[in-house]
Structure 1
Amino acid sequence: MPRPDAPTIPAAPPAEDIPPLVLDQASGDAWNLYNADCVSFARNLPDNSVDLAVYSPPFSNLYVYSESIADHGNCASDAEFFDHYRYLVREKARILRPGRLTAIHVKDLVYYQNSSEDGSAGLRAFSDGCTRVHLEEGFAFHCRITIYRDPVLERSKTNAHGLLWKTFQGDASFCRVGMPEYLMVYRKWAKPGEESLVRPVTHPKDKVPLTRWQDLATPVWRTNDIDLWLPYGDPRRTPHAQVWNLRDPGQGDADLPSTDVLNVAIAKDERAERHLCPMPLNITKRAIDLYTNRGDVVWSPYAGIGSEGVSALSMGRKFVGTELNPTYFRQGAKFLAEEAQASAYGSLLDLMEGASW
């Protein structure tokens, strides 16, 4: 239930009054992707039908992904963005299976000089705003997973005053640390009478080693997957679990590879976007691995070029997603079809290897 102090906003129109406008669609044996507005489409999804909602929402008005008025990135302020985003979170609370979770990939944002209301520079706690909306719509805050980002790469890309060596020498009171990203996780608790809808996520110890859980349980997820299968204390593990390479940014064992995303260049549309930032495959797969069973339904309302869907299919899950930008939709459908075919081929090889000849 929403908190008593939640702000009053207009109720969403009944789903039957706003049929989803599906501009295009594509599907396979275990996936469906729709070129449609995520909110109007979500209103028509069945109650308690999704096992995990994982996605990267628009970062307020930082990026615009399409020219549509329905694009949540087409907003004038953070307040306006959260007013719009609330409608999706409300539908998500209805669609998600009781006892399951939603994981969203976000980061805090920057106020540059003269860009804030009072003109001062600083940070905007965008991740906290996402938590506030989820709490007000009935979710419980489950956990915050930090995703390390190299401050040297951030400095080279943004030339942020607070990360400059010159600033550190001249007046370090202006210095700040690099900005990580986060995977914010929220739970939909089962209500009285919904116990039969709860489906536990299980990881039998004969199939998943203890070291896998020990690594997933860390508050900062490592991105060197070689370490995941080596026990604690093994000399082949990364020393101190995490090493960041400041001489060669992005090459440290804890640095998230910038290439660990689906191909962005072929999906670029200069007319309809400022920037495309697909959700990292490594992080997506970890969330799916931790919070779902094989055969579960994974949903992404902002499917982009299909990162969450490709990850889900590669791990034996089902996927449903929406994407408003037609260019991204077409590329996402292509990636999903290719992954479905590759996964089916892999399953056939597994069966052949296990057969007795």
Structure 2
Amino acid sequence: MTNVLDQYVSDRVSLYHGDSVEMLHGLPDNCLHYSIFSPPFSSLYTYSNSDRDMGNSANDDQFYTHFGFLIHELARVIMPGRLVSVHCMDIPKMKSRDGVIGLKDFPGEIIRAFEKAGFIYHSRVVVWKDPLVEATRTKALGLMHKQLCKDSAMCRNGLPDYVVTFRKPGNNPEPVSHEDGLKRFYGENEPEGVKTLRPQPAPELVEAKKKYNTTPVYSHQVWRRYASPVWMDIRQSNTLNRAAARDEKDERHICPLQLDLIARCLELWTNPDDIVLDPFAGIGSVPVVALQMGRRAMGFELKDSYYNQMVLNCKEEETHHDENQL
């Protein structure tokens, strides 16, 4: 590792305080099974006052240049045939900053950047968010009811989140198998574990339907929800406590990923004991969920207070796991 400010390493988790690109540069080729993260959103959100913070880029071109170095390293360290998921959203254009009110296609730019680095665009899911909550939080003109009354040509839809996923070319040496189906559900309104989806068939059709009727329908129903192009059932408030990570020099933004979202992606695209990386780990949402689900975790974080809280959160999860093993 290069220029590590601090580190915490145990049997199941490796956490590093430093620049994500430098940390990745110190890893061997094809050593990680999966990565999921929420990148700095160009200059929309500033996480720290460090010159190494991609969110402190002077403009979009500078941000994408810096972000490209990270993607290049991810293309090297991810195993062939395995995936990287990026949590993102469209970025609002502001009159004061951009000259107009509108939107920037941040997910589209991310797709083009990953494809340029050799990744295959694998999938995209829309994550629903309540537009009223967004309006209350951001005071966005386009979401105000008074704007509807004044001139609805300036009204817009709320901004969902996206999980955009990419696959590294090559054959996956360790297939992600779900031979026994999906046995857990992460999100709101868990599907019922019924035995059949429809009335029992006539006696003469029983043998023909035997295979269908003995397949765990619960797994089918969970898969149907996970395979949906729109996730309406992610619990928005199900996040790690972020208040403890704030400090007096905090800038404008800290927003942990929803734990349901992380868990779904890990359930779909990783095996137990796989190494899961978050290069912008914040207070440790991805490492904590990875530990809870029997995966190994790796996290990089630049900001002091976030890194310290991530270590505390992961240690707490390790202690909880050890106590349950007694």
Report TM bin, short chain: 0.7 to 0.9
How far apart, in 2, do the equivalents of 1:43 and 1:83 lie? Answer: 16
Counterpart for residue 164 of structure 2: 184
| Matched-pair contact (CA < 8 Å) for 1:106–1:182 | yes
Superposition pairs of residues 70-85 of structure 1, within 5 angstroms: 70-85=52-67
Q: Once the 2 structures are TM-superposed, how far is the Cα of residue 168 of structure 1 from its aligned partner?
A: 1.5
Which residue of structure 2 lines up, in the alignment, with residue 263 of structure 1? 241
Change (3 A) 1:298 1:169: same
Identify which of 88, 103, 118 aligns with 1:123: 103
Alignment of 1:1-357 (within 5 A): 20-116=2-98, 119-190=99-170, 195=171, 198-205=173-180, 208=183, 209-223=219-233, 256-346=234-324, 348=325
Give the Cα separation in 2 of the matches to 1:84 and 1:164: 35
Report Cα offsets for 1:133-189 as digits up to 9, x if no partner. 101000011111111110111111122111121222222211111100111101101
How many equivalent pairs are there? 291
Q: Whole-Å Cα distance in 1 between the matches of residues 44 and 166 of structure 2? A: 24
Instruction: Give the whole-Å Cα distance in 2 for the aligned partners of 1:20 and 1:316.
Output: 28
* Residue identity matched to 2:105: A
Offset at 1:257? 3.7
Structure 2 unaligned blocks of 5 or more:
184-218
Q: Is the 8 A contact 2:288 2:313 kept in 1?
A: yes
Deviation at 1:210, TM superposition (A): 1.6
Q: What is the distance in 2 between the residues matched to 1:45 and 1:178?
A: 39
For 1:300 and 1:95, locate their aligned partners in 2 and report how far apart those are by CA, in whole Å.
13
Superposition RMSD on alpha carbons, in Å?
1.5
Instruction: Provide, for residues 48-98 of structure 1, a one-character-per-residue CA deviation record: whole Å limited to 9, x for no partner.
Output: 110001111111112222222111111111211110000000000000010
Amino acid at match of 1:85: F
Report how far residue 123 of structure 1 moved. Answer: 0.4
* SS of aligned partner of 1:73: helix
1:269-317 Cα shifts (integer Å, max 9, x gaps) = 2314321111111101111111001110001111111000001000000
Q: Tell me if structure 2 keeps the 8 A contact 1:161–1:175.
A: yes
Query: CA-to-partner distance for each residue in 1:84-116, whole Å, 9 max, x for gaps?
Result: 000000000000010000001111111122421
Preserved CA contact (<8 Å) 1:22 1:35: yes
Identity of aligned residues (%): 38
- Structure that is richer in helix per residue: 2
> 2:230 is paired with a residue of what secondary structure?
coil
Look up the match of 1:247.
Answer: none
The equivalent residue for 2:212 is none
How far the C-alpha of 1:35 sits from its partner, in A, is 0.5
User: Could you tell which deviates more after superposition, 82-91 or 197-206?
Assistant: 197-206
Relative to the length of structure 1, the TM-score reads 0.79
Q: 1 CA distance for matches of 2:281 and 2:182?
A: 30
The ranges of structure 1 where at least 4 consecutive aligned residues each deviate by more than 4 angstroms after the TM superposition are: none
* CA distance in 2: counterparts of 1:23 and 1:334, whole angstroms: 17
